[in-house]
Structure 1
Amino acid sequence: MQIYKVGGAVRDRLLGKPVTDIDWVVVGATTEDMLALGYRPVGADFPVFLHPKSGEEYALARTERKSGRGYGGFTFHASPEVTLEEDLIRRDLTINAMAEDDQQNLTDPYHGQRDLEDRILRHVSPAFAEDPLRVLRVARFAARYADLGFTVAPQTLELMRQLSESGELQALTAERSWKEISRALMEDQPQVFIQVLRDCGALKVLMPEVDALFGVPQPEVHHPEIDTGIHTLSVLEQSALHKQPLTVRWACLLHDLGKGLTPTEEWPRHIAHEHTGLKLIKAVNERFKAPKDCQELALLVGKYHTHGHRALELKASTLLELLQSFDVYRRPQRFEEFIVACEMDARGRKGLEQRSYPQADYLRGAAKAAREVAVQPLLEKGFKGPELGEALKRERLKALKAYKETASI
């Protein structure tokens, strides 16, 4: 029996990156051998075991063969005869197909170390094209290592293009797709993930609503970058630069989908794109079964981001409606995420990345003014039920009118 550290742990050590998760492969062992040593079995499809002390995962070396559609369409074979090289060849990228023994001696049959040095994301074998999930994984790695100068090898991009055209991407489950998408959006350069998906034709299949934004012009006076798709990538980039959470990044990606529906004869204006985009945002949310908080914020940002940009011009009554829509009294964090999403939208414009966004503090002040209206005095006056709600609304409107006067001085 021989045990090797494999995959990401080897890759990241060689890159000088922090090693978080460690995967182990066991060569020359049987399930009975592992059980005898106290390992606990956890794998449903193939033999994976938890170490009796560390709890880390140890998998028996295995081969795989395509047997159906999608990510799960494989049969696996694990036995003591499977070599380390045979186990490594089934992996996606050469930089993920290296192994180390306990003395850090490197096994690198597919030249992963060379590709690390050359900053290339390259498939290990033609079997890469059998697994549609790898399209998303490679795009995610491109986003993760973009700051180091990594690019996708042309031959690998071509295999990704073939996968995108084959119909295999539709076989991916919403859960598997969302896991890759959400992880990619949290990388330092998530816009690279979207760009790589577009480069190989996968974006058109997975998110046609986002793909449709490329080539759609906007008024140059407001958007020097003009192209709506480029703007969306820039907004996503800003959300990462400012370390925003997943909810905000997801909303940034989807906020302008309505512009893809604007008739060409109306370009570059996009009247009411906020409302026309809601059905598209809802469709993307449901397609990937995004978490509820991501879904809600994306819809709210899509509907109200123009209100955010025009905050200083809004009437007190419109401000109140906006605050009520976000339920700022019980869910203040959601309104804060809306504010920063609007700010990322404003910064995601060519040459305007550093421009101040006074609307942010103005909206925070408005929310504070409305929240500070006390309920107790109204209860003491005898208001209750629907009448209390209306009285509270009137008092909050007064507070916002007063706020507007002081904030504009």
Structure 2
Amino acid sequence: MEIYLVGGAIRDELLDLPVKDKDWVVVGGSPKQMLQLGYKKVGRHFPVFLHPISREEYALARTEKKSGKGYIGFVCYSKPDVTLKEDLARRDLTINAIAKDKYGVYYDPYGGRIDLQKRKLRHISSAFCEDPLRVLRIARFSAYFANLQFRIAQKTWNLMKKVVDSGELSSLSRERIWREMDLALKTHHPQVFLQVLKDCGALNKLFPELNLVYCSFFFKKTQGPLITTNKKNIFLTLSTVAKHCLEVDVRFAALCYDLKKSIITQDNISNNGKADKIGTRIISIFCNSLQIPKKYRDLALLVSEFYGVLHTIHLSSPEELITLFNRIDAWRKPYRVEKIAYIIDADSSKCKTCSENFSSKGEYFYHTWKIVQSVSTQEIISAGFIGQKVREELCRRRISALTIRQNSQ
């Protein structure tokens, strides 16, 4: 029985990137042997075991044969006679099909290390087409490696389009699609994920709402699509927020803010509030169709619903600001204010931290919040106000504080 470190850990190690998770493949082993060594079986569709101490995943070497539609339509074979090369052949990209033994010797039968040096995302075989999920994975890797200038190999690009044309993307579950988007949103350049899906034709199949408002980026025909961050796209708020904020709910809300902004500015919709309602409805449908986590959905719908107010926040009266804080439930959920401030700043091409002197809409929004938050409820109670009068006096003092601040500017 031989054990090899495989996949992303090897790839990232060779690129001098942080290694997050380690996956291992066991060649020549059996489930009985793994259990006798103290490993715990966790795989449902194929033999995967957890190490008794490190809890890292150890999978028996296996082959996969297409047996139906979708990314789960495979029959797995995992007997001791499966070789390391056969196991590596079932993986999506050459750069993910590199193994290393306990002596530090690399096994790279498909040229993954060369592709790492050439900054190329290349499939291993035509079996790439058998799994539609790989289209999203390539788009996600494109976002992950955008700053390293990786390119999708032209033949791989052609296979991605073939998968899209086959209609197999429809077999992907919404949960699996969201998982890939969630991972893409955690990269430094999440907008590249959308760029790649757009150009291979998958965006319209997977996210029709986003496809309606997307501007294609250009690519060099001779070299395949260039994975970079300076391509023309409409997701400017998302790409700007991603430079300064790691929180996925803020990034997703920024994506929806871009979507709302695009709908609002369409020439065929008059500026009478109709576009505002349509935009929020589309974003709600978008979130529900993907079964977005409630935390993400709530923030996205807030920035959509109050898009008009946030866009002109610096022109709002003290009364309008208090109403806004009430409607976003800022008193109970103050963290929402800073999250929304990031998005407003990014929309104005200025994304500064809120701790600095405010010089943008987002900082103004956050600063007004700190002013009203500083009004003491305890002082009002100590002054003899009771019951409903406390709330009324609190509102009056908050408006007064904002009025004094605005008049002093």
Correspondent of 1:345 among 340, 344, 347: 347
Q: Relative to 1, partners in 2 of residues 1:357 and 1:89: Cα closer, same or farther, differing over 3 Å?
A: farther
Name the aligned partner's letter for residue 197 of structure 1: L
Q: Note the C-alpha offset of 1:234.
A: 2.5
Q: Measure how far apart 1:334 and its partner are.
A: 0.7
Quickly say closer, same or farther: Cα 1:377–1:9, change in 2 above 3 A: closer
Asked whether the equivalents of residues 383 and 391 of structure 1 are also in contact (C-alpha less than 8 Å), the reply is no
Show the 5 A alignment for 1:16-31. Answer: 16-31=16-31
Equivalence for 1:256? 258
Residue 330 of structure 2 is matched in structure 1 by 328
**In 2 relative to 1, CA 39–153 (structure 1 residues): closer, same or farther, beyond 3 Å?**
same
What residue number does 1:368 align with?
370
**Residue type of the alignment partner of 2:366:** R
3-state DSSP class of the match of 2:24? strand
Is the contact between residue 245 and residue 251 of structure 2 (CA under 8 Å) also seen in structure 1? no
Any idea what SS the aligned residue of 2:235 has? helix
1:230-249 alignment runs, 5 A limit = 230=232, 232-249=234-251
Counterpart among 295, 301, 304 of residue 297 in structure 2: 295
Matches within 5 A, 1:180-199: 180-199=180-199
Alignment partner, residue 108 of structure 1: 108
Residues 271 and 258 (structure 1 numbering): CA distance in 2 closer, same or farther, change over 3 Å?
farther
1:140-172, Cα deviation, whole Å (9 max, x unpaired): 111111111101112212222222233322222
What is the CA–CA distance in structure 2 between the aligned matches of 1:348 and 1:65, rounded to whole Å?
51
SS in 2 for 1:76: strand
Following TM superposition, by how much is the alpha carbon of 1:95 offset from its aligned partner in structure 2, in angstroms? Answer: 0.4
1:81 paired residue number? 81
Q: Could you tell me how far 1:271 is from its partner in structure 2?
A: 5.8
- Quickly say closer, same or farther: Cα 1:278–1:348, change in 2 above 3 A: farther
- Amino acid in the other structure paired with 2:291: K
After TM superposition, give the deviation of residue 261 of structure 1 in Å.
4.7
* 1:383 to 1:157, Cα distance in 2 relative to 1, 3 A: same
Q: Distance in 1 between matches of 2:345 and 2:371?
A: 21
In structure 2, runs of 5+ residues without a counterpart are 217-230, 352-357
| Distance in structure 2 (CA, Å) of the matches to 1:242 and 1:371 | 25
Matches within 5 A, 1:156-235: 156-214=156-214, 230=232, 232-235=234-237
Unaligned runs of 5+ in 1: 217-228, 350-355
- 1:215 CA drift (Å): 5.0
**TM-aligned CA distance change 1:153 to 1:300, over 3 Å:** same
Q: Give the 3 Å change call, closer, same or farther, for CA 231–59 of structure 1 in structure 2.
A: closer
Aligned length: 387
Give the residue type in structure 2 aligned to 1:285.
Answer: C
Conserved 8 A contact 2:284-2:301: yes
TM-score after normalising by structure 2: 0.88
**Superposed counterparts of 1:252-291, under 5 Å:** 252-258=254-260, 261=263, 266=268, 272=273, 273-291=275-293
Amino acid at match of 2:32: E
Q: Determine if the alignment matches structure 1 residue 398 to structure 2 residue 400.
A: yes
Conserved 8 A contact 1:274-1:304: no
TM-aligned CA deviation for residue 279 of structure 1? 0.9
The Cα offsets for residues 159-198 of structure 1, whole Å up to 9 and x where unpaired, read as 2222223332222222222221111111111111111111
Pair 1:270–1:104, CA change in 2 (3 A): farther
Bigger Cα displacement from structure 2, 373-382 vs 55-64 = 373-382
Deviation at 1:348, TM superposition (A): 7.8
How far off its partner does 1:214 sit?
A: 2.8
| Aligned AA (1:392) | L
CA contact (8 A) 1:346 1:357 kept: no
Shift of 1:333: 0.8
- Determine the C-alpha separation between the residues in 1 that align with 2:235 and 2:367: 30
Instruction: List per-residue Cα deviations over 1:222-250 (Å, max 9, x = no partner).
Output: xxxxxxx9553322221121134111110
State the distance in 1 between where 2:407 and 2:27 align: 74
Partner of 2:152: 152
TM-score (norm 1): 0.88
The 1:392–1:16 alpha-carbon spacing in structure 2 relative to 1, beyond 3 Å, is same
